[in-house]
A and B are shown apart, each in its own frame.
Chain A
Amino acid sequence: MSVLIVIDPNDPDPVAVAARLVGASRGLAGGAVILLVVGANSREVAGGLARIEGIREVMCSHHPALRVPPEDLAQRVVEAAEEEGCDHLVASAGSFGAELMPRVAGMLRVSPVTGVVETRDAETFVRAMHAGRVMAVVRTRARPVVLTVQPWAFAPVPVGEVAVTVRQGPEAPTLGWSESAGLLPSHDQGNGELSTARVVVAGGAGLEKGGGFAPVERLARVLGGAVGASRGAVDAGLAPAERQIGQTGRIIAPEVYIALGISGAVQHLAGVKEAGCLVSINTDPQAPMALVADLALTGDLHAVVPSLIELLTDG
């Protein structure tokens, strides 16, 4: 009985994500938890992962690429799982796991369960559907159980001082199917990382008329938060695609989410409905975001943001 958790070595904070995924796997078989990390930088990352409490060991596989192709990665996941006889394979529901785990499941000829936010038992899970408007309880008879998990939905286990063993993972050959040329250089002013930021300031199509995203970026910078965007803003070219929050973007749960000029379509709300405090600043008091927000201010964001910054700055 063991759980294999696959970690993205390129995540800005792999240890924080891993600690939550280990927290999520507590509801599973109750057996040993093994972490697997693959890539040119896997060694450096493995050291930090080894201090997460409650795991048996970290498997570390070298690969010549920093961004390992999913075909090569999936091969190693399958080999590691077979070697250890794992009955659960887990990765985060962000783009890393969302790309990897369905492939792994296809190779193992089982159906995965994606976007898990609650584990009822080792084979029964809760996940969102229809842009987060409905939750579904699904049970799988597949073995092994292949899952992607929303990290924010689970409390992290502590990270301690003592490190478990880091050992050599599978060394499958490279297959040469796909190859990454790296990330595009970005003009992104996004500051913090969306998945870990305590505060996220997001902008919508409401910024189109006032000359762009500067107010969002300024407020995020001042508050030490990350920048998010609605699809309306991305489609208008105001923000890069990877900043999009929602059903077809990122699903996040910051402590505070400040929406500037975002109407609050269900597809957008799907990405933030678990946020601690939703704040809406919108000229339209009837906008869905204003109706659902914990704190709603009716007003023009171009007037509100500068005075808000002033009022939140001491001295």
Chain B
Amino acid sequence: MIVLVAIKQIPDPLVPVRVKADGSGVEIHDARPVANPVDDNALEAALRLRESGAAQGVIAVCVGPPEWEGTLRTALAMGADRGIRIDAPDALDPWPVARLLAALAVREGVSLILAGRQAVDRDQGMVGLLVAGLLGWGQVAFASGLEWEEETGRCRVLRVVDGGQEVVTLRLPGVITVDPRLNTPRYASLPAIMRARGKSLESVSPGELGENLSSDLEWLSVFLPAARKPGVRVGDVAELAACLRALGVVACRS
């Protein structure tokens, strides 16, 4: 099987974000661009599938401007076989991103798409599952464990849901979105980074995939959430207990 890993480049999520004075968007200063952290977990999972012999190839794909090529090169240095950038502006909505990824997956004969459960900048959590719906493929969301079962030709996935952890088997072709708990992504070694610099990246235009960039969302404005009112420092446990009692928090009779 060929695995496609969708990777988004985002500003370092640990750097503070500001709202622009006119409320038209956010500003993030001096943040170095990084791969969306959960997408690295998706790439790691794909590389492990290839190393175990289950996958024959791993294609890392970004839907973004030329400035995102650094992220694709890092993916190559980590071990992806090919890096493809679908040319698009930064901050494209998930809906056109999903259409472009779906078209590319079909063109490349991919049978498994791995993506992060959400990009931690806009936190929309939809690209991978939109692709599954568009293509009519199977899907598993929030994978925290992933194995290929040779005998059944299915993926065996552990997923984190609100009530616990669920075991699901998935027939391919399919889409799996991954949780940060799935694995620990490897680091690219220095020699691998040097080698990846020499490798060529592929680039595809939306037109070549028979797609456009149209979206049906309009981002009207952004604002800061209401600040919580200042709290109080309690001096000791007795004072804390009194405050909690005033809120009706007391021990239940057991």
Measured CB to CB, the residues of A under 8 A from B are 10-12, 67, 69-71, 74, 94-96, 98-99, 102-115, 124, 128-142, 175-184, 186, 188, 194-195, 199, 221-224, 231, 234-235, 240-242, 244, 247-248, 250, 255-256, 267, 273, 276-279, 281, 285, 292-299, 304, 307-309, 311-314
Contact = CB atoms under 8 A, between A and B. Distances in A.
A308 B139 contact: no
Interface size class of B (residues with CB under 8 A): 35 or more
Contacts of A299: 237
Nearest to B234: A297
B123 interface: yes
B107 interface: no
Interface in B100-130: 117-118, 120-126, 128-130
A244 to B, nearest CB: 8
Contacts of B118: 248
Interface string B6-32: 000000010011010000001000000
Given A279-B244, A312-B251, A186 B123 contact: no
Contacts of B26: 129-130, 134
A194 B180 contact: no
A135 B245 CA distance: 34
Given A179-B168, A223-B249, A242-B160, 8 more contacts: A104-B133, A130-B121, A140-B218, A181-B168, A188-B164, A247-B120, A267-B13, A313-B251
A99 B120 CA distance: 17
Contact of A240 (B128, B165, B179): B165
Contact of B251 (A223, A293, A297): A223
For the complex of A and B, the 3 pairs showing the least CB-CB separation, nearest first, are A106-B133, A177-B138, A111-B95
A241 B168 contact: no
Given A139-B218, A180-B167, A311-B238, A105 B17 contact: no
A241 B17 contact: no
Contacts of A140: 216-218
Nearest to A115: B123
Interface of B: 13, 16-17, 19, 26, 38, 93-95, 98, 117-118, 120-126, 128-142, 144, 158, 160-171, 174, 179-181, 215-225, 228-229, 231-234, 236-238, 240-241, 243-245, 247, 249-252, 254
A194 to B, nearest CB: 7
Contact of A255 (B130, B137, B247, B250): B247
What is the interface of chain A mostly: helix, strand, loop, or mixed? mixed
A131 B122 CA distance: 8
B163 A135 contact: no
A131 B28 CA distance: 14
A116 to B, nearest CB: 11
A278 B227 CA distance: 13
B58 to A, nearest CB: 22
Contacts of B240: 279, 281, 295, 297, 304, 308
Contact of B222 (A134, A231, A267): A134
Nearest to A249: B160
A182 B124 CA distance: 27
B167 A312 contact: no
9 contacts: A98-B125, A98-B141, A106-B98, A107-B136, A129-B123, A240-B164, A294-B228, A295-B244, A298-B233
Contacts of A129: 26, 121-123, 222
Given A102-B126, A140-B218, A241-B165, A132 B181 contact: no
A178 B168 contact: yes
Contacts of A67: 166
A241 to B, nearest CB: 5
A182 B217 CA distance: 36
B134 A107 contact: yes
B109 to A, nearest CB: 19
A114 B130 CA distance: 12
A224 B249 CA distance: 9
Given A99-B141, A140-B217, A180 B168 contact: yes
Contacts of B141: 70, 95, 98-99
A139 B139 CA distance: 28
A105 B133 contact: yes
B179 A308 contact: no
